[in-house]
Amino acid sequence: MKLDFPRYTERLGTVSIHAVQRIYELDSGKSKGFQSSHQTVRKFDYDEISNIMHDLAIVIPIKNEKLKLLEGVLSGIPNECLVIIVSNSSRSPVDRFAMESEAVRQLSRFMDKRMIIVHQQDSGLAEVFKKTGYDSILDSEGNIRSGKAEGMIIGLLAAKMYHKDYVGFIDSDNYVPGAVNEYVKIFAAGFGMSTTPYCNVRVSWVFKPKVRNNALQFSKWGRVSEITNRNLNALLAAITGFETEVIKTGNAGEHALSMPLAECLHYTSGYSIETRELIDILEKFGGLMPSEYPQIVDKGVEIFQIETRNPHFHEDKGMAHLNEMLEASLATIFGSKICTPDLKKALQDQLKQMTKKRIDYSKKYHMLEPINAIHMPEFEKGVREKANTFLRIGLR
Residue ranges that bind ligand GDP, judged by CB under 6 A: 61-63, 65, 86-88, 120, 146-148, 151, 171-173, 253, 314-315, 317, 325
Q: How far is the CB of 285 from ligand GDP (least distance, A)?
A: 26
Q: Is 166 left (phi over 0), alpha (psi -120 to 50) or beta?
A: beta
For Co ion, the closer of residues 203 and 282 by Cβ is 203
Q: Which does 28 bind (CB under 5 to 8 A by kind): Co ion, ligand GDP, none?
A: none
Q: What gap in Å lies between CA 232 and CA 245, rounded to an integer?
A: 9
Q: Taking CB within 5 to 8 Å according to partner kind, which of ligand GDP, Co ion, none is near residue 386?
A: none
> Of these partners, Co ion, ligand GDP, none, which one is at the site of residue 296 (CB under 5 to 8 Å by kind)?
none
Q: How far is the CB of 150 from ligand GDP (least distance, A)?
A: 7
Among 314, 344, 364, 386, binds Co ion (CB under 5 A): 314
**Residue 380 touching Co ion (CB under 5 A):** no
Interface segment toward Co ion; rule CB under 5 A; list 110-118, 159-167, 171-179, 367-375: 171-179
**Binding status of residue 277 toward Co ion by CB under 5 A:** no
In the bound complex, what is the minimum distance in angstroms from residue 315's beta carbon to Co ion? Answer: 5
Q: Interface with Co ion includes 173 (CB under 5 A)?
A: yes
CB nearer to ligand GDP: pick between 64 and 244: 64
Nearest distance, CB of residue 324 and ligand GDP, angstroms: 9
CB of 124 or CB of 222, closer to Co ion: 222
Asked if 142 and 126 touch (Cβ cutoff 8 Å), the reply is yes
Sheet holding 23-25, edge to edge: 23-25, 2-4, 41-43
Question: 130: Cβ–Cβ under 8 A, 6 or more apart, which residues?
Answer: 138, 142
Complex with ligand GDP: residue 10 or 171, whichever CB lies closer:
171
* Inter-CA distances, 362 with 34, 193, 272, 387, Å: 51, 36, 12, 31
Supply the minimum distance, in Å, between the C-beta of residue 315 and ligand GDP: 6
CB 224, min distance to ligand GDP, A: 8
Contacted entry of ligand GDP, Co ion, none for residue 147, CB cut-off 5 to 8 Å set by kind: ligand GDP
Q: Minimal CA–CA distance to 7: which of 49, 43, 41?
A: 41
Q: Are 66 and 175 in contact (CB under 8 A)?
A: no
Check whether the bond before 6 is cis (ω within 30° of 0).
Answer: no
65 binds Co ion (CB under 5 A): no
Question: Which option in Co ion, ligand GDP, none does residue 120 bind, with CB closer than 5 to 8 A by kind?
Answer: ligand GDP
CA dist 345 and 230 (Å) reads 15
Nearest distance from residue 72's CB to ligand GDP, in Å?
12
Cα(343)–Cα(332) distance, integer angstroms: 12
Q: Which of the listed partners (Co ion, ligand GDP, none) does 200 bind, with a CB threshold of 5 to 8 Å by partner kind?
A: none
Q: Which one of ligand GDP, Co ion, none is in contact with 65 (Cβ closer than 5 to 8 A by kind)? A: ligand GDP
How far is Cα 282 from Cα 33, in angstroms, rounded to an integer?
37
87: helix, coil or strand? strand
Q: How far is the CB of 293 from ligand GDP (least distance, A)?
A: 28
What contacts 320, CB < 8 A, 6 or more positions away? none
Positive or negative: CA dihedral 116, 119, 123, 129? positive
Partner touching 63 among ligand GDP, Co ion, none, CB below 5 to 8 Å by kind: ligand GDP
Distance in Å, CB of 45 to ligand GDP, minimum: 32
Nearer to Co ion, 227 or 325 (CB): 325
Q: Which is closer to ligand GDP, CB of 118 or CB of 247?
A: 118
Tell me the C-alpha to C-alpha distance, in Å, between residue 223 and each of 34, 175, 227, 298. 40, 21, 6, 37
- Interatomic CA distance for residues 249 and 327, integer angstroms: 16
By C-alpha distance, which of 263, 271, 369, 354 is closest to 317? Answer: 271
Q: Residue 238 or residue 322: which is nearer to ligand GDP going by CB?
A: 322
Residue 265 to residue 300: CA distance in whole angstroms: 15
Segment near Co ion (CB under 5 A); pick from 47-55, 127-135, 275-283, 313-321: 313-321
Binding site for Co ion (CB under 5 A): 171, 173, 314
